[in-house]
């Protein structure tokens, strides 16, 4: 499997100013470099699978028309994996992410999340599971513009019902993980696209979810910033024991996946 090289070196080639405390590496000629792989803490994966999707179909009704978007999807997500969905625009990737994240329910088929029948749960039960165990990252970052990086992450902890006494340490930790300890009090408009996406990552992992769903998280970024986001993804998979399922079009980024599912017209091809 191809992977980004890493060293602790700073590079003048990067057009983003870097924190000296950044845990992310720095890019040289489009390659992420830092000294050593992230330290792996003791962690045993639970016995049940993180996610199983079985024969899932999604049909939308628009007026009298039926639009058959997903046509029998089977997939699995293991613990601490980086899994990618690729496919043309309109092939059904976002529809599938919405089902996995419990924002929508399948027309047919089953989705098991940590062994539990997600597809049978009502809206409130799925919302509770989502708040506890799932984080989302979007192409356009979805940060609140009037809040600082720190306050954006804080909002996520507030929404998840994390006790207030734990906020400060967790927010600081998450922003350090994504290499933004010196940008904590900046608002989104004072940050580059890559930095904003890293705030969005800190926000998505703050409540310690088990699964991150990222819909084209690098599509708005140049290749250097995209590579940096991928480096942060790899680090948080190790240190926070998270699985990331993301969509992308970028073949270079796909090289770092543990598994790639290719979607064509609502089905996976092998």
Ligand X SMILES: Nc1ncnc2c1ncn2[C@@H]1O[C@H](COP(=O)(O)OP(=O)(O)O)[C@@H](O)[C@H]1O
Nearest to 223 by CA among 14, 76, 55, 47: 14
Residues 252 and 199: their CA atoms lie apart, in Å, by: 23
How many residues lie near Mg ion (CB under 5 A)?
2
228 is an interface residue for ligand X by CB under 6 A: no
Cβ proximity to ligand X, 71 vs 158, nearer residue: 71
149 is an interface residue for ligand X by CB under 6 A: no
In this structure, the dihedral spanned by the alpha carbons of residues 57, 62, 66 and 67, taken in order and rounded to 10 degrees, is -50
**Under 8 Å between Cβ of 198 and 178:** yes
Question: 185 is written with which tokens?
Answer: 């009090």
Cβ proximity to Mg ion, 4 vs 138, nearer residue: 138
Diameter of the chain measured on Cα atoms = 60
> x-or-dash pattern for Mg ion, window 109-148, by CB under 5 A?
----------------------------------------
Backbone angles phi, psi at 250, to 5 degrees: -85, 115
Cβ proximity to ligand X, 69 vs 200, nearer residue: 69
218 is an interface residue for Mg ion by CB under 5 A: no
> x-or-dash pattern for ligand X, window 33-62, by CB under 6 A?
---------------------------x-x
Partner touching 148 among ligand X, Mg ion, none, CB below 5 to 8 Å by kind: none
Closest contact distance (angstroms) between CB of 19 and ligand X is: 33
Partner touching 224 among ligand X, Mg ion, none, CB below 5 to 8 Å by kind: none
Partner touching 92 among ligand X, Mg ion, none, CB below 5 to 8 Å by kind: ligand X
Sequence-distant (≥ 6) Cβ neighbours of residue 69 within 8 angstroms: 58, 59, 60, 92, 95, 266
Question: How far from each other are the two terminal CA atoms of the chain, in whole angstroms?
Answer: 18
27 is an interface residue for ligand X by CB under 6 A: no
Closest contact distance (angstroms) between CB of 164 and Mg ion is: 36
Partner touching 90 among ligand X, Mg ion, none, CB below 5 to 8 Å by kind: ligand X
**Under 8 Å between Cβ of 230 and 84:** no
Nearest to 86 by CA among 226, 225, 218, 187: 218
Nearest to 221 by CA among 232, 209, 229, 213: 229
Residues 225 and 223: their CA atoms lie apart, in Å, by: 6
> x-or-dash pattern for ligand X, window 62-101, by CB under 6 A?
x----x-x-----------------x-xxxxxxx------
Judged by CB under 5 A, the residue of 94, 148, 152, 248 near Mg ion is 94
Tell me which residues touch ligand X (CB under 6 A): 60, 62, 67, 69, 87, 89-95
Tell me which residues touch Mg ion (CB under 5 A): 93-94
């Amino acid at each position: 499997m191809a992977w980004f090289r890493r060293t602790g070196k700073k590079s003048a080639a990067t057009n983003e100013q870097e924190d000296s405390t950044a845990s992310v590496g720095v890019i040289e000629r489009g390659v992420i470099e830092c000294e050593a792989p992230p330290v792996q803490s003791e962690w045993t994966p639970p016995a049940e699978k993180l996610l199983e999707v079985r024969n899932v179909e999604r049909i939308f009704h628009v007026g009298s028309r039926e639009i058959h978007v997903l046509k029998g999807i089977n997939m699995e997500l293991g613990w601490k994996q980086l899994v990618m969905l690729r496919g043309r625009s309109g092939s059904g990737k976002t529809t599938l992410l919405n089902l996995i994240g419990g924002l929508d329910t399948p027309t047919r088929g089953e989705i098991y999340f940590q062994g539990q029948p997600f597809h049978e749960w009502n809206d409130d039960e799925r919302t509770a599971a989502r708040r506890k165990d799932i984080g989302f990252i979007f192409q356009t970052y979805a940060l609140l513009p009037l809040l600082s990086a720190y306050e954006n992450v804080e909002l996520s902890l507030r929404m998840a019902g994390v006790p207030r006494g734990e906020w400060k340490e967790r927010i600081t930790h998450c922003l350090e993980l994504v290499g933004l300890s010196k940008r904590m009090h900046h608002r989104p408009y004072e940050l580059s696209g890559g930095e904003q996406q890293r705030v969005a990552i800190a926000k998505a992992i703050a409540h310690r979810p088990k699964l991150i769903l990222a819909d084209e998280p690098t599509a708005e970024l140049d290749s250097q910033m995209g590579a940096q986001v991928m480096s942060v993804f790899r680090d948080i998979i190790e240190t926070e024991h998270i699985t990331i399922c993301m969509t992308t079009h970028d073949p270079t980024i796909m090289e770092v996946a543990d598994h790639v599912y290719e979607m064509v017209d609502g089905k996976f091809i092998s």
